[in-house]
């Protein structure tokens, strides 16, 4: 996320997933520094055994680059808008799987 925090929190907190902030995701397609940050964050998450989700994926290029960097899940306007709980339950009943990068 974008909030202030120490990396030591990642060691101490009981978490199972790390999000790649949309501010980095938005630039990963055309900014080498953003790709380096994304790769580093995803590497840290992998080393800690955490699942990863990229927030705010806006196009197929971002999706492919993030998948190539090892990001496991993605969300954002390129993948579809928000749905309510009833629609989500219908998708689950129909056997639809979560979208993966």
Residue 63 tokens, joined? 């999706």
Give residue-wise pLDDT tens across range 40-94.
999 999 999 999 999 999 999 999 999 999 999 999 988 887 788 888 788 788 8
Bridge partners of 18, per DSSP, are 52
Bridge partners of 73, per DSSP, are 53, 100
Residue 80 tokens, joined? 């579809």
Q: Is 34 helix (H, G, I), strand (E, B) or coil?
A: helix
Place of tokens 């790649």: 20
Does the pTM surpass 0.85? The reply is no
């Amino acid at each position: 996320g974008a909030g202030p925090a120490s990396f030591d929190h990642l060691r101490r907190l009981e978490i199972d997933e790390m999000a790649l902030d949309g501010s980095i995701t938005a630039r990963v397609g055309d900014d080498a520094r953003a790709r380096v940050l994304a790769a580093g964050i995803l590497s840290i998450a992998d080393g800690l055994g955490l699942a990863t989700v990229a927030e705010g994926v806006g196009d197929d290029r971002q999706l492919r680059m993030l998948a190539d960097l090892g990001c496991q899940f993605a969300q954002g306007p390129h993948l579809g808008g928000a749905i309510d709980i009833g629609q989500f339950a219908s998708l689950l009943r129909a056997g639809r799987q979560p979208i993966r990068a």
